Amino acid sequence: MGVNSDIKSNVARVLEVVERTAARSGRRRESIKLVAVSKTVEVERVRQALEAGVTHIGENRVQEGMAKKPQLADLSMIFHLIGPLQKNKANKAVETFDWIETLDSVELAAKVNQACERLNKTLPVLIEINIGNESSKSGIPEVQVPDLLRQMSGFIRLSIQGLMTVPPYFENPEEVRPYFVRLRELSRRMADLKVENVSMTELSMGMSHDYPIAIEEGATIVRVGTAIFGAR
Ligand SMILES: *Cc1c(COP(=O)(O)O)cnc(C)c1O
């Protein structure tokens, strides 16, 4: 079996799991976006995933996204930045990506908002939460989210759509479930604040290892790399 059919069958399998898990959880399939995470994956294989029916692609480095995007210009693709963003790369990130999932400070949000103004663009964004309070992870702690949302409310070029997290890793994905629940509950509390220009409809959580559990707990965006492209 060639590389091509591998990616094709991986995509088919993941889409089927998404569909089955949605049905089992009483959720609409259309409420869940599958982002195929293509960091370190060569562009030809990303193309195969798009041809196999993926519509969202995620990269965690601005530079890598910039290099790949023009080579995929003939295909339709919604491009997500899912890795840490430095303030001095805000312009390039806004030029390159359709979603930025990793805003974690008012300074960074201000830079991205400015970049959007310059490019006359409105960008859907997520706030990255360090849900497990791990020193090794990016994202802000839960307690800081209300203030950040209020500060970002005036950034009218940003369409604040919800929250994103990378939870602690556990061999047994069931152990991740409480963190997914936590992000969902945080999202609900933040929605109740009714901050202007803030929508809390998207929850980006779940990776290859645990995305069915994330969907059961309300994920609207799952970011899946290894299960589509193989081990990195
Ligand atoms: C790499 C990465 C993923 C995908 O991880 P897999 O385990 O390969 O599915 C998801 N989210 C982020 C932020 C990543 O960096």
For the CA of 207, the closest atom of ligand 1 is 9
The residue whose CA is least distant from atom 13 of ligand 1 is 82
CB 112 within 8 A of CB 123: yes
Ligand 1: lining residues by beta carbon, under 6 Å: 37, 39, 60, 82-83, 166, 207-209, 223-227
Determine how many CB atoms are found less than 10 A away from the CB of residue 25.
13
What is the pLDDT, as a whole number, of residue 2? 42
Query: Do the bridges between strand 33-37 and strand 56-59 make them parallel or antiparallel, or are there none, so unpaired?
Result: parallel
What is the pLDDT, as a whole number, of residue 5? 58
How far is the C-alpha of 131 from the C-alpha of 120, rounded, in Å? 33
> CA gyration radius for the chain?
17
CA–centroid distance, 209 to ligand 1, in Å, is 9
How far is the C-alpha of 147 from the C-alpha of 131, rounded, in Å? 17
Residue found by looking up tokens 């591998």 in the block? 6
Estimate the crossing angle of helix 106-118 against helix 145-152, to 10 degrees.
Answer: 20
Estimate the crossing angle of helix 3-24 against helix 43-51, to 10 degrees.
Answer: 50
What is the pLDDT, as a whole number, of residue 3? 42
What is the pLDDT, as a whole number, of residue 1? 40
How far is the C-alpha of 206 from the C-alpha of 32, rounded, in Å? 11
Q: Is the pTM of this model over 0.95?
A: yes
Give every CB contact of residue 77 below 8 A, 6+ residues apart in sequence.
50, 55, 56, 57
What pairs with residue 19 in β-bridges? none
Estimate the crossing angle of helix 145-152 against helix 177-192, to 10 degrees.
Answer: 50
CA–centroid distance, 208 to ligand 1, in Å, is 7
CA–centroid distance, 193 to ligand 1, in Å, is 30
Instruction: Write out the two tokens for 193.
Output: 């604040």
Instruction: Write out the two tokens for 229.
Output: 């492209």
For the CA of 82, the closest atom of ligand 1 is 13
The residue whose CA is least distant from atom 4 of ligand 1 is 225
Gap between the terminal Cα atoms of the chain: 19
Amino acid residing at 47: R
3-state SS, residue 218: coil
CA–centroid distance, 154 to ligand 1, in Å, is 31
- Chain centre to alpha carbon of residue 72: 20
For the CA of 229, the closest atom of ligand 1 is 8
Instruction: Write out the two tokens for 93.
Output: 């990130």
pLDDT along the chain (232 residues), means of 10: 71 98 97 98 98 98 98 98 98 98 98 98 98 96 98 98 97 98 98 97 98 98 98 92
The residue whose CA is least distant from atom 11 of ligand 1 is 223
CA–centroid distance, 224 to ligand 1, in Å, is 6
Q: What is the DSSP string of 142-185?
A: GGGHHHHHHHHTT-TTEEEEEEEE-PPP-SSGGGGHHHHHHHHH
CA–centroid distance, 225 to ligand 1, in Å, is 6
